């Protein structure tokens, strides 16, 4: 049997593909990475503008409680101390997220955890009583679910409009199970994540991707499907990180995705909104949030050493053919369809499927890396 050129052909240079390539190279394997985009890094790709690393495909904040994963990424590039602390803007008033004592003080003027708990319990009881009166035993939709978990004030100001923009449907038409719980914190802490470690690579995510792919052959602007037979012939195994339904030529039908689009602007001011992420929670504002990229890596006086700033307005959009797929729509219909593709994938001996699109599930970045470090034998 002819020896093939490569041990692994890796389709996609996002976090899964790049981390797999790094570990495979360490194991002495010959790898080729191809990507149909003109750049490496998939959705973590950054573009430098005005000395600012712009997250081209949305805000990426690395967070984990797994020390092995944290030490691994920091062995490639040092991470900074960025802490995700988004703010919500509702009709010109600002509220801290996640829901915490700052939020409750801004909402009701309460100053102690006990007062805040009492207020929330009162509002929940009102909601449950109103539902009972209307003969509703269990929440039938997202609106009823959210109000029974958190009360009407927070729901109406901070959840309703944002959720309707994200999903493109009214909360009364969305299933209750989308919100299983709403984390409420009775402390004055705006850190969004509970994880032990969080930050952003110093110099941006390209530094992480380039570090992972150092010394590995990478070809961008190459579509696996345009010359599939050739690509399949040059390697013993394939690591596939694209859409699993496309890999199987949509045999059972097409999976659905949600996507986001960005309107980017460079502004002649050093500090536009004072925070990396501000959510706009009213329905009438068409975008879901504004990202000001410099706050991911510049702190204190550094913000003003860079005279301009780059912002991105983020819009949730129904995914259509040709758009970049971002999020799997993990409803019953799509999960059942994915199950059929997964059965096919399980029969493959020489193909490894990995990542958001190939496994049809939402992944944060750290679990992707954790999976390769702990669960995949190279």
Q: Minimum mean pLDDT among 71-75, 174-178, 371-375: which range? A: 174-178
In a domain, 161, yes or no: yes
d(CA 23, CA 213): 10
Q: Are residues 139 and 220 in the same domain?
A: no
Q: What is the mean pLDDT of residues 345-352?
A: 96
Residues 324 and 57: beta-carbon distance below 8 Å: yes
Task: Find the length of the chain.
Answer: 378
Q: What is the mean pLDDT of residues 72-97?
A: 97
Band (pLDDT 50/70/90 cuts) for residue 2 is low
Instruction: State the pLDDT at residue 153.
Output: 96
Q: Are residues 150 and 214 in the same domain?
A: no
Q: Are residues 250 and 366 in the same domain?
A: yes
Residue 1, pLDDT > 70, answer no
Residue 93, pLDDT > 90, answer yes
Whole-model pTM? 0.93
Of 122, 143, 178, the last residue of a domain is 178
Q: Are residues 17 and 74 in the same domain?
A: yes
In a domain, 185, yes or no: no
d(CA 212, CA 82): 22
Q: What is the mean pLDDT of residues 119-135?
A: 93
In a domain, 260, yes or no: no
Q: Are residues 226 and 164 in the same domain?
A: no
Instruction: State the pLDDT at residue 178.
Output: 83
d(CA 70, CA 243): 28
Residues involved in catalysis: 181, 185, 258, 289, 314, 362, 364
Residue 81, pLDDT > 90, answer yes
Of 136, 152, 178, the last residue of a domain is 178
Q: Are residues 143 and 228 in the same domain?
A: no
In a domain, 152, yes or no: yes
Q: Are residues 236 and 358 in the same domain?
A: yes
Domain CATH number, residue 18: 3.40.50.720
Percent of the chain at pLDDT exceeding 70: 99
Number of domains in the chain: 2
Band (pLDDT 50/70/90 cuts) for residue 191 is very high
C-alpha dihedral, 218 to 223 to 225 to 229, nearest 10°: -50
d(CA 216, CA 29): 10
Q: Are residues 169 and 36 in the same domain?
A: no
d(CA 251, CA 248): 6
Q: Are residues 199 and 174 in the same domain?
A: no
Q: Are residues 39 and 147 in the same domain?
A: no
Instruction: State the pLDDT at residue 4.
Output: 85
Instruction: State the pLDDT at residue 48.
Output: 97
Between the alpha carbon of residue 108 and those of residues 98, 104, 357, 368, 371, the distances in Å are: 16, 6, 42, 40, 43
Instruction: State the pLDDT at residue 318.
Output: 80
Q: What is the mean pLDDT of residues 166-173?
A: 89
Q: Minimum mean pLDDT among 72-76, 216-220, 315-319: which range? A: 315-319
Q: What is the mean pLDDT of residues 52-71?
A: 97
Residue 10, pLDDT > 90, answer yes
In a domain, 44, yes or no: yes
309 C-beta neighbours (distance < 10 Å), count: 23
Give the residue numbers spanning the domain of 161.
110-178
Percent of the chain at pLDDT exceeding 90: 86
In a domain, 210, yes or no: yes
pLDDT digits (tens, 9 = 90+) for 254-279: 999 889 999 999 999 999 999 999 99
Instruction: State the pLDDT at residue 177.
Output: 84
Q: Are residues 35 and 171 in the same domain?
A: no
Q: Are residues 170 and 121 in the same domain?
A: yes
d(CA 352, CA 180): 32
In a domain, 296, yes or no: no
Of 178, 208, 232, the last residue of a domain is 178
In a domain, 291, yes or no: no
d(CA 311, CA 267): 8
Q: Minimum mean pLDDT among 26-35, 195-204, 215-224, 368-377: which range? A: 368-377
On average, the pLDDT of the chain sits at: 95
* Structure-model confidence comparison of residues 105 and 128, the more confident one: 105
């Amino acid at each position: 049997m002819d020896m093939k050129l490569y041990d692994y052909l890796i389709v996609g240079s996002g976090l899964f593909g790049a981390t797999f390539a790094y570990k495979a190279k360490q194991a002495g394997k010959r790898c080729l990475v191809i990507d149909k985009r003109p750049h490496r890094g998939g959705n973590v790709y950054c573009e430098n503008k005005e000395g600012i690393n712009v997250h081209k495909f949305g805000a990426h904040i690395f967070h984990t409680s797994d020390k092995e994963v944290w030490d691994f990424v920091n062995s490639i590039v040092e991470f900074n101390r960025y802490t995700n602390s988004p703010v919500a803007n509702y009709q010109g008033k600002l509220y801290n997220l996640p829901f915490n004592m700052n939020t409750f003080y801004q909402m009701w003027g309460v100053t102690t955890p006990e007062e805040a708990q009492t207020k929330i319990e009162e509002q929940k009881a009102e909601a449950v009583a109103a539902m009972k009166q209307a003969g509703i035993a269990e929440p039938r939709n997202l609106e009823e679910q959210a109000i029974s978990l958190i009360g009407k004030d927070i729901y109406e100001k901070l959840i309703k409009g944002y959720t309707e923009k994200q999903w493109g449907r009214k909360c009364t038409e969305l299933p209750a199970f989308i919100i299983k719980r709403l984390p409420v914190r009775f402390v004055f802490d705006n850190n969004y994540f509970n994880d032990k470690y969080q930050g952003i690579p110093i110099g941006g995510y390209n530094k992480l991707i380039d570090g992972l792919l150092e010394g590995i052959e990478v070809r961008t602007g190459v579509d696996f499907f345009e010359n599939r037979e050739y690509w399949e012939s040059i390697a013993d195994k394939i690591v596939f990180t694209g859409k699993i339904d496309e890999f199987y030529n949509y045999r059972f039908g097409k999976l659905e995705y949600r996507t986001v689009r960005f309107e980017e602007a460079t502004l002649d001011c050093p500090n536009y909104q004072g925070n990396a992420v501000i959510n706009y929670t009213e329905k009438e504002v068409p975008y879901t949030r504004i990202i000001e990229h410099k706050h991911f890596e510049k702190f204190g006086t550094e913000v003003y050493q860079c005279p301009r700033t780059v912002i991105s307005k983020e819009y949730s959009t129904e995914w259509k053919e040709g758009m970049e797929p971002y999020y799997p729509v993990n409803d019953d219909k799509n999960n059942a369809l994915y199950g059929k593709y997964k059965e096919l994938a399980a029969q493959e001996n020489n193909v490894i499927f990995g990542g958001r699109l190939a496994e049809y599930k939402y992944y944060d970045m750290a679990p992707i890396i954790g999976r390769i470090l702990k669960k995949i034998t190279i």
